[in-house]
A and B are shown apart, each in its own frame.
Chain A
Amino acid sequence: MAFTAPLENDGVNTSPHVADEVKTTTCYMCACRCGIKVHLQNGQVRYIQGNRDHPVNKGILCGKGAAGIMQHYSPARLRKPLKRVGERGASEYAEIEWDEALSIATGWLSNIRATDPKKLAFFTGRDQSQSLTGWWANQFGTPNYAAHGGFCSVNMATAGIYTIGGSFWEFGEPDWDHTKYFMMFGVAEDHDSNPIKIGLGKLKARGAKFVSVNPAQTGYSAIADEWVGLRPGTDGLFVMAIIHELLQSGSVDLDYLVRYTNAPWLVIQAPGTADDGMIARDPQGNPLCWDQKTKTPINALLAEVAPVLRGNFDVNGKRAVPAFELMAQRYLDNAYAPDAVAERCGIPAATIKRIAAEVAHVAFQQQIELPIAWTDWAGRKHDKIIGRPVAMHAMRGISAHTNGFHTCRAIHLLQMLLGSVDVPGGFRYKPPYPRPIPPGPKPAGKKGATPNQPLGGMPLGFVTAPEDLLLDGQGKPIRIDKAYSWDHPIASHGLMHMVISNAVNGDPYPIDTLFMYMANMAWNSSMNTRGTIDMLTAKNTDGSYKIPHIIYSDAYFSETVAYADLILPDTTYLERWDCISLLDRPISDADAAGDAIRQPVIAPDRDVRAFQTVLLDLGARLKLPGMVDEDGDPKFPGGYPDYIVNHERAPGIGPLAGWRGDGTAQGHGAPNAAQLDNYIENGCFWRGEIPHDARYMKMANASYLAWSKQMGFIPKAEQIVLQIYSEPLQKFRNAARGHGPVQPPDKDRARIETYFDPLPMWYAPFEEAAIDPQQFPLHALTQRPMHHYHSWGSQNAWLRQITSQNRLFMNRTTATAQNIADDDWVWITSHAGRVKAQVRLVDGVNKDTVWTWNAIGKRKGSWALNPNAPESTRAFLLNHVISERLPNSQQSNSDPITGQAAWFDVRVRVERAADHEQNDAGHNFGALYPPPGVTTGPDVLQYGAQFSEAAE
Chain B
Amino acid sequence: MTSLPATTDKKLGLVIDLDTCVGCQACVTNCKEWNTGGLMAPLTDLKSYGAEADGVWFNRVHTYEVTGHEACGASASRTMHFPRSCLHCETPECVTVCPTGASYKRTTDGIVLVNEDLCIGCKLCSWACPYGAREFDVFEGVMKKCTLCVDRIYNENLAEEDRVPACVLTCPTSARHFGDLGDPNSDVSKLVASRGGVDLMPELGYKPTNKYLPPRARKDSAAARPTPELKPITADGFLGWVDKLLSR
Contact = CB atoms under 8 A, between A and B. Distances in A.
Interface of A: 1-8, 10-19, 41, 46-50, 52, 57, 59-69, 75, 193-194, 197-198, 200-201, 204-205, 209, 217-227, 229, 245-251, 254-255, 258-259, 264, 292, 302-310, 324-325, 328, 332, 353-354, 356-358, 360-361, 378, 786-787, 795, 797-802, 804, 842-844, 864-866, 868-870, 873, 936-948
A734 to B, nearest CB: 27
B22 interface: yes
Contacts of B161: 2, 52
B70 interface: no
B33 A353 contact: no
23 contacts: A2-B164, A3-B10, A6-B108, A10-B113, A13-B39, A16-B39, A47-B34, A63-B28, A65-B26, A219-B23, A221-B79, A248-B232, A249-B233, A305-B247, A305-B248, A307-B248, A332-B238, A361-B228, A800-B49, A802-B25, A937-B48, A945-B42, A948-B42
Interface string B68-85: 000001011111110000
B222 interface: yes
Given A201-B173, A869-B51, A947-B37, A4 B22 contact: no
Given A245-B230, A264-B246, A787-B26, 17 more contacts: A14-B150, A49-B170, A62-B172, A69-B33, A200-B20, A204-B173, A205-B174, A222-B79, A225-B73, A249-B231, A254-B242, A305-B247, A308-B243, A868-B51, A940-B44, A942-B45, A948-B41
Contact of B230 (A14, A41, A251, A325): A251
Closest 10 CB pairs of A and B: A944-B36, A6-B108, A197-B172, A63-B25, A866-B50, A5-B154, A937-B49, A201-B173, A948-B41, A226-B220
A869 B222 CA distance: 50
B157 interface: yes
Chain B CB count within 10 A is highest, among A7, A46, A843, A936, for A843
Contact of A6 (B9, B24, B78): B9
Contacts of B244: 254
Contacts of B21: 223
A201 B174 contact: yes
Contacts of A795: 49
Chain A CB count within 10 A is highest, among B9, B164, B227, for B227
Given A302-B248, A305-B248, A360 B230 contact: yes
Contacts of B123: none
Nearest to B173: A201
Given A67-B32, A198-B172, A938-B48, A217 B10 contact: no
B204 interface: no
Interface in B110-166: 113, 115, 139, 150-151, 153-158, 160-164
Contacts of A947: 37, 41
A15 B157 contact: yes
Contact of B51 (A229, A332, A357, A870): A870
A936 B50 contact: yes
Contact of A225 (B17, B48, B218): B218
Contacts of B156: 5, 15
Contacts of B171: 60
Given A250-B241, A943-B42, A797 B26 contact: no
Contact of B45 (A221, A246, A332, A798): A798
Nearest to A377: B248
A19 B155 CA distance: 12
B25 A787 contact: yes
B220 A225 contact: yes
B106 interface: yes
Contacts of A15: 151, 154-157
Given A66-B29, A358-B225, A939 B109 contact: no
A48 B154 contact: no
B229 interface: yes
A905 to B, nearest CB: 25
B49 A940 contact: no
A866 B221 CA distance: 51
B38 interface: yes
Nearest to B46: A940
A866 B109 contact: no
A226 B219 contact: yes
A367 B229 CA distance: 18
B43 interface: yes
A75 B49 CA distance: 9
A254 B45 CA distance: 62
B115 A201 contact: no
Given A197-B24, A308-B243, A67 B29 contact: yes
A577 to B, nearest CB: 24
Contacts of B245: 292, 306
A310 B230 CA distance: 22
A74 to B, nearest CB: 9
A358 B227 contact: yes
Contacts of B108: 6-8
Nearest to A63: B25
A292 B36 CA distance: 72
A797 B53 contact: yes
B30 interface: yes
Contacts of B77: 217, 842-844
B197 to A, nearest CB: 15
A249 B246 contact: no
Contacts of A7: 108
B242 A843 contact: no
B239 interface: yes
Chain A CB count within 10 A is highest, among B47, B158, B162, for B47
Given A60-B170, A245-B230, A786-B25, A2 B32 contact: no
B19 interface: yes
B232 A249 contact: yes
Given A328-B239, A944-B41, A354 B222 contact: yes
Given A802-B28, A944-B43, A357 B53 contact: no
B3 interface: no
A248 B233 contact: yes
A218 B79 contact: yes
A868 B241 CA distance: 68
Contacts of B41: 944-945, 947-948
A918 to B, nearest CB: 18
B22 A223 contact: yes
A258 B230 contact: no
A193 B25 CA distance: 13
Contacts of A17: 157
A204 B51 contact: no
B7 interface: no
Nearest to B243: A310
A63 B29 contact: yes
B100 interface: no
B16 interface: no
B246 to A, nearest CB: 5
B104 interface: yes
Contacts of A798: 29, 32-33, 45, 55
Contacts of B37: 41, 46-47, 943-944, 946-948
Contact of B229 (A11, A357, A787, A945): A357
Nearest to A787: B25
Contacts of B200: none
Contacts of A50: 169-170
Given A67-B29, A361-B227, A939-B46, A786 B51 contact: no
Nearest to B104: A10
Contacts of A10: 104, 106, 113, 115
B203 interface: no
Given A226-B220, A787-B24, A801 B54 contact: yes
